[in-house]
Structure 1
Amino acid sequence: MAITGKPLAATAGSMIFQRGGNAVDAACAMLAATCTMWDVLSWGGETQALIYNPKTKKVIALNAMGVAPTGATAAFFKSKGYNFPPEYGPLAATTPGTPGGICYMLAAYGTMSLKEVLAPAMQLAAGYPIEAQTANSIERGKARIKEWPYSKAVFLTHAGENREAPEAGEIFVQKDLLATLQKMVDAEQAALKQKKSRQEAIMAAYDRFYKGDIAKEFVRGSQEQGGLITLEDLARWKPLWEEPLQTSYKGIDVYKLQQWTQGPMLLQSLNILENFDLKSMGYNSTQYIHTLYQAMNLAFADRDFYYGDPYKAPEEPIKGLLSKAYAKERAKLINPTANNDKAGPGDPYPFEGKTNPYIELLKQRGFPIDTNSSRNFLPAHDTRTGMPTPGSVPASDVAAATPPQEAVDADYLDRLWRGTTSVEAADEQGWVVSITPSGGWLPACIAGKTGVGMSQRMQSFVLDADLNPFNVVQPGQRPRVTLTPSIALKDGKPFLSFAVQGGDTQDQNLLQCFLNVVEFGMTAQQASEAANINSNQLWLSLGGTKTADRQPKPGHLLLHDSTPAATREALRKMGYTLTFDDRTSGPINLIFFDWKHSSFWGGSSNHGEDYGIGW
């Protein structure tokens, strides 16, 4: 089974399967193809993966997230007037992670050569009929693309005309990218001629990208356009193999990446929701929607304050955050009849035998930990024009003052849903791969003559410790990202492999997809297409350079257009501000493992170009 964000890229995965490759080989081919097709990411972005190894019967994690470069400090960005690092351009770039991620995965667990796995992507780089979606995205972003000479040369194939981007169906050629991929393959093939092993040859290609002539041109092109990345930054960086984080929900073991992603938020939500009888509430009933929203908000509040790079101080209290006892205490905060606008970070430290060093900071933020005290209704960071000052009026009056139909602006929703792609693969040997790669999306700044679009993930850092002391930008640190693939095991065997695009909505949608299967018995395709809800009561991880752009919107709830009138009215009475859309999730891709019949069920959402091929 091969599923990803573009039909041609899914075809690349199926081609690898037909040539005898395993799921890791196929996943690498799909990842390379989606990067080449600018499927809301490119080669200079980042890769995060979960892999089930049937030989060890373990889930392993790959951290191929780039790091902040030399000179990327909070003081540097503040001196330029930013509240967060920028969204676009050379200063938004972490070191590229995806080329290294592909090399590491392929060398460790694949069976093929890099030449074989990159063949479909190289054919695409040599020229393919570009789709309307990507071509129109280039046209929409052309004003920014014109700021960067190497991007302009690649993307604006009709410069000076009314439409400067390629037309749908036009053969889109990327000569520089093709040359870069060819250099990697040449390095591998030269190593093989020297009698190097398959793994050593792949790492020779890795070295050429991160330490050789590709690296030199990448750094030259980045710095020419104002970027900070140095040759030393590229040479020092490397992907990391990790132990994933895990929780159990009703006997199903769910695995996520570590706290440098938002993945633990889903695990925390499951721990909280395990204290409720969700099935008896009914799918998308008023009570189910309310309970789900409240649980997610509590987990998001912890994410927004406590998650960060585990390889840099301070150490995140992840054991406490994932404690079942902590989740039970968090569950007690859920009011069954009203939204909790003041949901804030909890105190997980006692649940790992420690004292919280940030209690005073939390109090300054308007989040006293004592749940029995009289607290401000709104967090101190969320006072907005037209809203009462925290603590100035009773909670009931604040709820009444909130407009019941306040519109969520289009820019905010774009930042909330900002997409990427996902890759799902499984084979008959038992290998399972789930990847949520991203970065370097359009409009991308291309680094010199490499054809490689640079990452924009720096924007997920904060510049002030009072927002999140674990995620303040510093050289060599990974930003806390939204990217979050998932694998679940049942009875020690693969049960679900699932991922989705869509910024801060990813784990919201994946949580509901999981529950759709586990609690409501949906098939893979039903679960991928089912109507979801989205909470806006969280700090946005992407977009906007001002604090106001990212602040939570307490009580704001996105529902599907099909939501019954009675449910809408009941939710409004509970204090919610409702918006509606026919799209309530990014494209969810998943594989369900049917052990009763020894078969795979694939699902790919109807919300995009995502596509799956099974054989």
Structure 2
Amino acid sequence: MKKLILIALTGLIFQFSYAQSTQKPPLHGKHWMSITGKPLGATAGAMIFSQGGNAVDASCAMLAAVCTMWDVLSWGGETQALIYNPNTGKVIAINAMGIAPTGATVDFFKEKNMQYPPEFGPLAATTPGTPGGLMTMLAEYGTMSLEQVLAPAMEMAKGYPIEAQTANMIENRKDLIKEWPYSKKVFLPHLGEDREAPHPGEVFVQEDLYQTLKKLVDTEKAALGQGKSRKEAIYAAYERFYKGDIAEEIVRGTREQGGLFTMEDLAKWKVKIEEPLSVNYKGIEVYKLQEWTQGPALLQSLNILENFDLKSMGYNSANYINTIYQAMNLAFADRDFYYGDPDFGPKSPMKGLLSKEYAKERAKMIGEKNDPTIGPGDPYPYQNEKNPFLQLLEKNKSVIAYNNPEMPISGPDDPFLKSFTSGTTSIQATDKDGWVVSITPSGGWVPAVIAGNTGIGLSQRMQSFVLDEALNPFNVLEPGKRPRVTLTPSMALKDGKPYLSFAVQGGDTQDQDLLQLFLNIVEFGMTVQEATEAANIHTYQIQSSFGAHESKPGSITLNSEVPSWVRKDLAKRGYKMSFLDRTSGPLNAIWFDWKHKSFWGGSSNHGEDYGIAW
């Protein structure tokens, strides 16, 4: 869109035009770029780059910093990453998702009269994944020592001025925090006062966490002193965390508070370096993590939407909104039923789900009006197999209808909406040598159970399992299994070179926002900053991965600036609309300008996400 300014000067009128402005400026750099959920986190990445580190080193420093800041995650959570290795020209997937502990069975939770594992508390915790993920990425693809990349986080653990968002979150959840003694010790320094949480700007000290990180660095130093290589020394620290005295205190402190962790659970768990999944959309290769995440739903959505002329519909027209809403519903219905940990049986039918032929059949179901009863399809014929779960597919419809009475979203403070969109942060980094990193870490958000005297906040990801196979036979809880998570970094290559690296926070809305950011750039020619701020839509006609796993068929969130004629058209199509002033993420992304050999960075105006470049 163009705007015109008329300026009168000495009797002459000049006409100027300029592109639609954004609330935040785009980032530009040619040496490096670091973007994450908090300004201090981005600064930690910049510090590492200034010391000569590569994008993996900087990403690990940012990850450590945002965990220390409790930026809707902490050290006991989980890390998911895509890394482009310029030496091989390949995209690598990092699976640092924790597992369900020993004793975490369907019967265990059903005996407690639970439909799902709980949202909070020690029984919500999968084993810590982020420390192992960070150390594996650093050892395999970084250049620096653990001591170097942990230095900013360790300084912050000794005390940093806490930002208002986190401080107020602690105060608002203090009643729950008080149920767990080690959490109360860390989070509530003003017990008995009107405000028991830290004040915004107060120097927040985490001595137990500092000592845990120091143990890792001390172990690395000792290994280096014994003549071990950089890589071997980092893995020595890894071993101490998962098999040594740190693991012992995590297990002791968790079990004391009612959790189920065993030493064997931590010792047997390993980070996995995997092959990502990908599809080609109009000549662009788009990469996502495997089906233990919701990432393939974005790939399925792209396959479906490739059958439509989206550009001719116009950005956020009623036809466009109707089309992408239904495409996402079709893809996410398959997510809800077919996705799960590929290390456990049954094996998800990913070949069929990601086939172009299956997508064409699903695309035929998109009509002028939304169908609120749409469910998962049958991808098995598209991989020359017979679906063993046809009876469960029929049962699935009745179970979901029973569990999800049709109720509209009441407004921005609706508990369902907060649960559906909450949590997580994202990390984006690149450097002049061609390394690109996209991470969506999460877990252990406030209010978190802290595991004994470690300062480590535990994940709450157990709630993403199901206990009824009719909901999803691939994601039924078992000890040692990874839950199917919402966490979903993204990367795209064009002509064999990095094109776009992008991620977002926001629970089940993540791949909805990421899909629209990608289309904003590819179909509508937006710059990466414009795309991160653009007005997105959200569908709730999918099962929430949190709490009671509700869905709200036909409900849609639109930006408040959507014009009246679009609203009227969508109302005729049966949509139940709610509106928010900002519907853009928060999205973070890097776009690669190969013509000028530079990077463009985008960070949406939605939250506190921030980037630095040089």
Q: 1:13 aligns with which of 25, 36, 45?
A: 45
Cα root mean square deviation, aligned: 1.2
CA shift for structure 1 position 385: 9.0
Q: Could you say what secondary structure the match of 1:338 adopts?
A: coil
Q: In the alignment, is residue 523 of structure 1 matched against residue 527 of structure 2?
A: yes
Task: Encode CA deviations 1:212-257: one digit per residue, 9 max, x unaligned.
Answer: 0100001000000000011000000010000000000000000000
- TM-aligned CA deviation for residue 585 of structure 1: 3.6
One-letter code of the match for 1:357?
Answer: P
Correspondence 1:202-213 to 2 at 5 A: 202-213=234-245
Residue 246 of structure 1: aligned partner: 278
Structure 1: segments with no counterpart, 5+ residues: 367-378, 388-401, 545-549
**1: distance between equivalents of 2:114 and 2:404?**
22
Alignment pair present for 1:481 and 2:485 = yes
Over residues 385-443 of structure 1, what are the superposed CA-to-partner deviations in whole Å (9 max), with x where a residue is unaligned?
986xxxxxxxxxxxxxx98x976861000111112100000000000000000000001
SS of 2:167 mapped into structure 1: helix
1:588 correspondence with 2:592: no
Q: Secondary structure at the match of 1:526?
A: helix
Relative distance call for 1:34 and 1:428 in structure 2 (3 A) is: same
Aligned equivalents of 1:560, 1:496: Cα separation in 2: 25
Tell me the secondary structure at the aligned position of residue 499 of structure 2: strand
Match of 1:286 in 2: 318
Secondary structure of 1:55's counterpart equals: coil
SS at match of 1:497: strand
* Residue 60 (1) aligns with residue 92 (2): yes
The verdict on how the C-alpha distance between 1:464 and 1:449 changes in structure 2, with shifts beyond 3 A counting, is same
- Give the whole-Å Cα distance in 2 for the aligned partners of 1:282 and 1:410: 31
2:355 maps to 1:323:
yes
Correspondence for 1:472 among 460, 469, 476:
476
Counterpart Cα distance in 2 of 1:360 and 1:43? 42
Structure 2 contact 532–584 (Cα < 8 Å) conserved: no
1:567 equivalent in structure 2:
566
1:374-413 aligned within 5 A: 381-383=400-402, 410-413=414-417
In the other structure, the counterpart of 1:442 is: 446
CA distance in 2, matches of 1:380, 1:120: 49
Query: Are 1:532 and 2:536 counterparts?
Result: yes
Letter in 1 for 2:331: A
| Superposed displacement of residue 320, structure 1 | 0.4
Partner Cα distance (1:178, 1:82) in 2: 36
Q: 1:226 aligns with which of 240, 254, 258?
A: 258
> Is 1:266 aligned with 2:270?
no
Residue matched to 2:246: 214
Distance 1:484 1:385, change over 3 A: closer
Q: Does 1:341 align with 2:372?
A: yes
Alpha-carbon distance in structure 2 between the residues aligned to 1:447 and 1:471? 26
The residue matched to 2:391 in structure 1 has which SS?
helix
How far apart, CA to CA, are the structure 2 residues paired with 1:384 and 1:153?
Answer: 38
Quick check: 1:127 aligned with 2:126?
Answer: no
Partner secondary structure for residue 590 of structure 1: strand
1:184 maps to what in 2?
216
Q: 1:512 aligns with which of 507, 511, 516?
A: 516
What is the CA-CA distance between 1:552 and the residue it aligns to?
Answer: 1.8
Query: Runs of 5+ in structure 2 lacking a partner?
Result: 1-32
Residue equivalent to 1:305? 337
Q: Where do 1:32-111 residues align within 5 Å?
A: 32-111=64-143
The aligned amino acid for 1:542 is F
Distance (Å, rounded) in 1 between the aligned partners of 2:451 and 2:330: 40
Cα displacement (A) at 1:383: 4.5
Moved runs in structure 1, 4+ residues, more than 4 A?
Answer: 383-387, 405-409
Q: Decide whether the 8 Å contact of 1:302 with 1:345 is kept in 2.
A: yes
SS at match of 1:499: strand
Q: Which amino acid aligns with 2:137?
A: M
**Which residue is equivalent to 1:598?**
597
Specify the SS of the correspondent of 1:487.
strand
Does residue 172 in structure 1 map to residue 204 in structure 2?
A: yes
Partner of 1:392: none
The 1:384/1:345 distance shift into structure 2, 3 A limit, reads closer
Q: Partner amino acid for 2:382?
A: F
Q: CA deviation at 1:361?
A: 1.3
Contact 2:428 2:439 survives alignment (8 Å): yes
Q: 1:21 to 1:406 in 2, by over 3 A?
A: closer
Corresponding residue of 1:371: none
Deviations 1:458-500 (A, max 9, x none): 0000001010000001100000000000000000000000000
1:193 aligns with 2:225: yes
1:237 to 269, 279, 295: 269
Contact 1:61 1:241 in 2 (8 A): yes
Equivalent residue of 2:588, what SS?
Answer: strand
Amino acid corresponding to residue 222 of structure 2 in structure 1? A
Q: CA offset at residue 380 of structure 1?
A: 5.5
- Provide the secondary structure at the position in 2 that maps to 1:2: strand
Task: Report the Cα distance in structure 2 between the residues aligned to 1:35 and 1:94, rounded to whole angstroms.
Answer: 16
Rounded to whole Å, the distance in 1 between the matches of 2:423 and 2:122 is: 20
- Partners of 1:118 and 1:196 in 2: CA distance: 19
Please give the secondary structure, in 1, of the residue aligned with 2:373.
coil
Tell me which residue corresponds to 1:361. Answer: 392
Q: Which residue of 1 aligns with 2:170?
A: 138
Q: Does 1:490 align with 2:530?
A: no
Note if contact 2:404-2:550 (Cα within 8 Å) is conserved in structure 1.
no
Percent of aligned pairs with the same residue? Answer: 69
Partner of 1:610: 609
Q: What is the distance in 2 between the residues matched to 1:322 and 1:498?
A: 21
TM superposition shift of 1:355: 0.3
Matched with 1:372 is none
Q: Distance in 2 between matches of 1:561 and 1:516?
A: 19
Q: Distance in 1 between matches of 2:395 and 2:196?
A: 51
Aligned-partner Cα distance in 1 for 2:267–2:395: 41
Cα distance, 1:134 vs structure 2: 0.6
Q: CA deviation at 1:176?
A: 0.1
Contact persistence 2:80–2:441 (CA under 8 A) = yes
Partner of 2:464: 460
SS class of match (2:152): helix
Secondary structure of 2:186's match?
helix
CA distance in 2, matches of 1:361, 1:456: 28
| Partners of 1:276 and 1:311 in 2: CA distance | 35
Post-superposition shift, 1:542? 1.3
> What is the rounded CA distance, in whole Å, between the counterparts of 1:543 and 1:591 in structure 2?
33
Deviation string, structure 1 residues 94-118 (Cα, Å, up to 9, x no partner): 0000000001000000000000000
Structure 1 Cα separation of the partners of residues 404 and 351 of structure 2: 38
Normalised by the size of structure 2, how large is the TM-score? 0.93
* Secondary structure of 1:365's aligned partner: helix
SS of 1:603's equivalent in the other structure is strand
Q: Which residue of 2 aligns with 1:24?
A: 56
TM-score, scaled relative to structure 1: 0.93
- Given residue 596 of structure 1, which amino acid in structure 2 is its aligned partner? K
Single out whichever of 77-86 and 409-418 deviates more from structure 2: 409-418
Contact 2:450 2:456 in 1 (8 A): yes
Indicate conservation of the 8 Å contact 1:382/1:551, yes or no: no
Provide the rounded CA distance (Å) in 1 between the counterparts of 2:537 and 2:113: 35
Task: Give the corresponding residue for 1:373.
Answer: none
Query: Which letter does structure 2 place at the counterpart of 1:442?
Result: V
Mark the CA change 1:96 to 1:13 in structure 2 (over 3 Å): closer, same or farther. same
Does 1:502 pair with 2:506?
A: yes
